Amino acid sequence: MTMILLAMALQTATLGATNYTVDAPMTVPAGKPDLADEFDGPRVDTRVWRYDTSRNAVGWANNEKQYYAADRRENARIEKGALVIEARRETLSKDRFADWGGQGYSSAKLVSREALGYGFYSVRAQLPCERGSWPAIWLLPERGKWPDMGEIDIMEMVGWDAGVVHGTLHSGDYNHMKGTQRGAQVRVPDACTAYHDYQLDWRPDSITIGIDGRAYMRVPNTQAGDKGAWPFDRPYHLILNLAVGGDWGGKMGIDDSAFPMRFSIDHVRYWKAK
């Protein structure tokens, strides 16, 4: 297994955070997952996933530049046993895409139809490294106002800082708007050329994030009952997406010559907490 080098220095002026670093083992639960998609069918299973297109017309958060297509093979497909989310440099039209908001890029955002909760998550993925790419594996609840609703980022990486993977929590009291977000970062030199297991162990008393069976971030629930600090006590939906540009992903610009950009996911597995 590729050596993972912990990055201990505090990072500012990004959406990542590095103040809850740990180095500890993570153990995948025994037995069959309660939810699993091995992406071995002919197409994306829309019984498991839905496409989020809700902000195409008005634009996406963080000043991201993409249009998220719904069930469009160019942007989301099963290929050689993996889900491929592909971002493309292209101009669409309202004749074919009524909700197109004038974006110059297309991509896809998949959301689990089932809301999940406490348990162990493992998503095996290979990330894009092109400048302007912003892949993410994350969770949000069904409803609520951000950041009070809470956000769990299992994996984020921006192409201009390729190989540096972030795990982060956001809440009303702890979020990047205030510069108080809680998380850590880890260096994975071959994140763009090899698959890795991006993992979350979500418990009532802590949230631990790691890669390939090794935790690099843990946030304890030291303020139980305080929703501003810990809203992570209800089911959330799992999200897979590849954004283009934005406040963080586009900080160093977008390399238009690098498209298409591919975010490949070999499988998604979830074991519900017993």
**Surface-to-core class of residue 257, CB atoms within 10 Å of its CB (0-12 exposed, 13-18 middle, 19+ buried):** exposed
Q: Is 114 a catalytic residue?
A: no
What is the Rg, in whole angstroms, of the alpha carbon atoms belonging to the chain?
17
**Surface-to-core class of residue 188, CB atoms within 10 Å of its CB (0-12 exposed, 13-18 middle, 19+ buried):** buried
Q: Is 142 a catalytic residue?
A: no
Cis-peptide into 33, omega within 30 deg: no
**What does 40-96 look like in DSSP terms, one character per residue?**
-SSS--TTTEEE--TTTTT--GGGB-EEE-SS-TTTEEEETTEEEEEEEE----TTT
Catalytic, out of 64, 86, 130, 151: 151
SS3 244: strand
SS3 130: coil
Beta carbons of 87 and 260 less than 8 angstroms apart: yes
The DSSP code for 258 is: G
SS3 159: helix
Catalytic, out of 64, 86, 130, 156: 156
**Catalytic machinery residues:** 151, 156
